[in-house]
Structure 1
Amino acid sequence: MSKALTDVLREWMPHQRWFGGKGREWADVSEDGFFLSRSEPVLSVHRVRVTYADGAGETYLVPLSWRAHPEEELSTAFVGAVPAKGADGEDRENYCYDAMRDRDATPPWLVHLVAASTVGPMHFHPAGVATIPEGVPGDVVSTEQSNTSLVYGQDAIFKLFRRLEPGLNPDVEIGEALRRTENPHIAPLLGHIEIDDPDGAEPATAAMLQTFVRGASDGWRLATASVRDLYAEGDLHADEVGGDFAADSERLGAATASVHADLARVLDTEPADRGWFAATARAMTDRLEAALAVVPQLEEHLAGLRAVYAAVADSPEQVVRQRVHGDFHLGQVLRTATGWVVLDFEGEPARPLAERRQLDSPLRDVAGMLRSFDYAARHMLVEQPDDPQRAYRAQEWAVRNRGAFCAGYSASSGIDPCGDSPLLRAFEADKAVYECVYEARNRPNWLMIPLQSLSRLAAGAG
């Protein structure tokens, strides 16, 4: 079956949202798989190794469910038909589907987690702190990009890490550490799954299970609703609108400081030396130079940004490096009736896992959230880029909520993260450069948002 299956996967995988090699030429593909459940439907799990024409390669995790006949209700999850021999020796076809979107194929994940099973190369590790909802199906979360998640009832959410890398995923590592602190601003880890590396490297993290946050509202949606309320009120300021978001921003700052403090308490920390500052500035400058090839408009900000980064190398700041979130923005937080919850501690999925586990400054997370406030404020300007009144109101909302976030962080930690910090400004600029590249490649009409921010940051403004 292997050749027929790899042919099917070669056709199907490039069209999946979680596949990171879109547009790259494939040189080869191979797979190895095992059965996780032989009940109906049969559930198999496959490690699919894609080798690209440039010699690079990636390994993806692909669970498949198998049916003897086509299932019309699963047509959107159809992967392909694979020739097989029937029990009578007759030629036939088996029909395989994306098992994460086949509800009948989802219960075995939690059954094995409860049992702490080992199935083939896969090892299931329950956290042993809460009841896992065994025996119920999971519903796929359709909004995700690089991973695939299932919600089991109202109790648990299961995340499958599609791209496999040797080593413990930071989302599991940090989730386990924060679970021990009983921090109220995280969703407790319920367990995780590892899979052995066929070449003898460290096992990779295949999946994790954590508590599902009930009745929560997405931070990005709440923030952008507040911006829409402000735009609708032509003669009111941001602090006068019924949908003012500043109190939520302040509480989010306090929650962020709480998470940072607990991370520093239970995981490694290290004072940043001059070498780290120099290396950080050099990496930012390198990313800027690479971005110029994609976004020529960065040329007008080049001198200012180089100066911003050079200031980091000479910064007298006292920085204690620690574990951080690494990809912090309004889409990574949920507001509940009792406060904010921070999700997805895996860092930027496009970066190598070893880099995502490195110690960093908490200011990187602060900068990420400040950039997110700018995006929330300005994303509607794309529709009316030449409206000065709307631009003024966007700036007013962004300044108000950025300040509220910093005030909340400071009140909780005793540290003002948004003072005159060369490192914070550089982190913001570095993030905005990344955003420019992303928008140029994916949403060119949004490029104005990070470019406008770079005008401010390159000029040394706050």
Structure 2
Amino acid sequence: MSQLEDLLAGWIPRQRWFAGKGTPIEKVMVEAEHPVVTGEPGLRLLVVEVGQQGSTSRYQVLLGVRRAGHLRDELAHATIGVCELPGDSSTWAVYDAAHDPELTTSLLEGIADERGADGIRFRRMPGAPIRTGQRSIVLTGEQSNTSLVYGEDYVLKTFRRLWPGRNPDLELTAALAGSPFVARPHGWIETDLPSDRPGDGSSVPTTLALLQDYLRSATDGWVLAATSVRDLYDTPDLPPGDAGGDFAGEAERLGSATAAVHRALSRELPTDVLTPDMLGDLAAGMRHRLESATAEIPELSRYAPALRAAYDAFAAVAEPLPVQRIHGDYHLGQVVRTDAGWVLLDFEGEPAVPVRDRRRPSSPLRDVAGMLRSFDYAAHYQLIGSASEETLAPAARAWARHNRDAFCAGYAAAGGVDPEKHQAVLRAFEYDKAVYEVMYEARNRPSWLRIPLDSIAELTR
């Protein structure tokens, strides 16, 4: 490995967006290097291959380059290291340029001017105005990507883990352009990567970043729901609808917004219908996840018969199941409340799944199930470790039921698939999501494991 690759091998595993934590790194290789800003300081867009246990993943690194000793103090936290670069005997300080507004202005300008050189292409949406000359700051708290906010106008989401193909976030947001329920897209950055389809030696356009409106007045849906739950905890003897901060009205409006987005996606993008054999295959995948989860988390085994029965009922659904493009990773953290109403964000789906799989049509009830699971989490997570957990647990369950019902009512009233009339499908998707949550919490947040386990217990009574 080069000196730069050695530094990246030590730096990448420490980043929040790195998906391979806990597994030894066998190799790091810079697959592609695209100069964006030449000279000093310089900006290079790197596609980096990381090998672990015989498999390879790709990551995007915005590499800042300054002469050793010239790195400003405010960029010290972004330092990757000091090294010689290939073809240059000088010593350079290299760092994560996402934190350097002197360099990231070039990304906004590139999209505005639709530049294209050195293997990357900057694209602007037709008719989309872009005001340049704005400095960026990095949004904190993200897990999978890195977003840069330019002034009060734009947010540029840079996708850290790269899969060949057009990212669903760009594809679906473009299809929904003009909808009041999504942040307006303005442009994107792309490159070409080798296809990951077996036997396909071609290269495919691959999304590196997406530029959208920055919703500066927005409030995160998870925060709003958590505030409502805290208000109920102050008066736990009252029904959720009578307590201060009742969230049901917002949940119903969120259901309506979700249905509007699903209807728009079904108009703009291809749809399909699943045959009974396809339903059987989906149910088999659910059973397989359940088996894996019960082998890893024995506490789940007591609920396995009820879960299997739900999957069997799903496989036995007689009527054809319409499928379409959906959000794919839908929960309260993926929606924001603005002055004008609810807006849906982050249509990329699960970043750990290949793009070609995320683009497959699915039932919109999968998104509904994801949001219902999120209501359960919002109701219960604040009780973890609380001395009042036993006292407040009934209120938490009541809050979840109250808002789940309101969301489903809003969804059905706005023209979505009526969850009440398709309980076998919705139940299977919700159970499958809860089983996934059990595995996730056991591996990452053991203290939260009781949330999905308690939910499964409640759902399977």
Does the pair score TM above 0.5? yes
Aligned mates of 1:115, 1:140 — CA distance in 2: 23
Q: Equivalent residue for 1:131? A: 129
* Residues 308 and 458 in structure 1, CA contact (< 8 A), matched pair in contact too: no
Report if aligned partners of 2:66, 2:92 keep a CA contact under 8 Å in 1: yes
Matches of 1:83 and 1:376 in 2, distance apart? Answer: 49
Kept in 2: contact 1:133–1:152 (CA 8 A): no
Q: Which residue of 1 aligns with 2:55?
A: 56
Amino acid at match of 1:286: H
Q: Which residue of 2 aligns with 1:169?
A: 167
Report the secondary structure of 1:26's partner residue. Answer: coil
Counterpart in 2 of 1:209?
211
Name stretches of at least 5 consecutive residues in structure 1 with no aligned partner: none
Distance 2:319 2:393 in 1: 34
1:192 corresponds to: 188
- Superposed displacement of residue 387, structure 1: 3.6
**Other-structure match for 2:309:** 307
Q: Where do 1:434-445 residues align within 5 Å?
A: 434-445=436-447
C-alpha distance in 2, partners of 1:72/1:59?
30
Which of 218, 221, 229 lines up with 1:219 in the alignment?
Answer: 221
Give the C-alpha shift of residue 295 in structure 1: 1.4
Hey, what's the Cα distance between the residues in 1 that align with 2:295 and 2:120?
43
Distance in 1 (CA, whole Å) between partners of 2:157 and 2:183 is 13
Alignment-derived partner of residue 82 in structure 1: 83
Aligned pairs, how many? 452
For residues 418 and 439 of structure 1, the distance between their equivalents in structure 2, rounded to whole angstroms, comes to 29
Judge conservation of contact 2:252–2:411 (CA < 8 Å) in 1. Answer: yes
1:18–1:146 contact (8 Å) kept in structure 2:
yes
User: What is the CA-CA distance between 1:117 and the residue it aligns to?
Assistant: 1.1
Aligned 1:364-379 pairs, distance under 5 A: 364-379=366-381
Residue in 1 that maps onto 2:331? 329
Deviation of 1:386 after TM superposition, in Å, equals 7.1
Structure 1 residues 221-251: Cα deviation after superposition (integer angstroms, max 9, x where no partner): 0000000010012442211122110000000
Bigger Cα displacement from structure 2, 106-115 vs 37-46: 37-46
Structure 2 unaligned regions, length at least 5: 195-200
Aligned partner of 2:452 in structure 1 is 450
Q: Distance in 2 between matches of 1:404 and 1:239?
A: 11
1:317–1:421 contact (8 Å) kept in structure 2: no
Residues 235-274 of structure 1, C-alpha deviations (whole Å, 9 max, x = no match) = 4221112211000000000000000000000100112211
Cα root mean square deviation, aligned: 1.8
d(CA) in 2 for partners of 1:273, 1:375:
33
* In structure 2, distance between residues paired with 1:134 and 1:40: 21
Query: Pairwise mapping of residues 55-454 of structure 1 onto structure 2 (< 5 A)?
Result: 55-68=54-67, 69-83=70-84, 92-179=90-177, 182-197=178-193, 200-384=202-386, 387-413=389-415, 415-419=417-421, 421-454=423-456
Q: Is the 8 A contact 2:265 2:325 kept in 1?
A: yes
Equivalent-residue separation in structure 2 for 1:453 and 1:143 (angstroms):
27
- Any idea what the Cα deviations from partners look like across 1:334-381, whole Å, max 9, x if unmatched? 001111000011111111211110010000000000000000001122
Distance 1:420 1:184 in 2: 28
Alpha-carbon contact 2:34-2:120 (below 8 Å) kept = no
CA distance in 1, matches of 2:307, 2:348: 28
SS at match of 1:197: strand
Q: CA deviation at 1:318?
A: 4.0
Is 2:25 the counterpart of 1:35?
no
Match of 2:47 in 1: 47
Instruction: Tell me the CA shift for residue 50 of structure 1.
Output: 1.1
Contact 1:186 1:343 in 2 (8 A): yes
Distance (whole Å) between structure 2 residues aligned to residue 409 and residue 293 of structure 1:
36
Partner of 2:198: none
| TM-score normalized with structure 2 length | 0.94
Evaluate the alpha carbon distance shift between residue 448 and residue 317 of structure 1 in structure 2; reply closer, same or farther with a 3 A threshold: farther
In the aligned structure 1, how far is the partner of 2:311 from the partner of 2:131?
Answer: 49
* Same amino acid, percent of matched pairs: 46
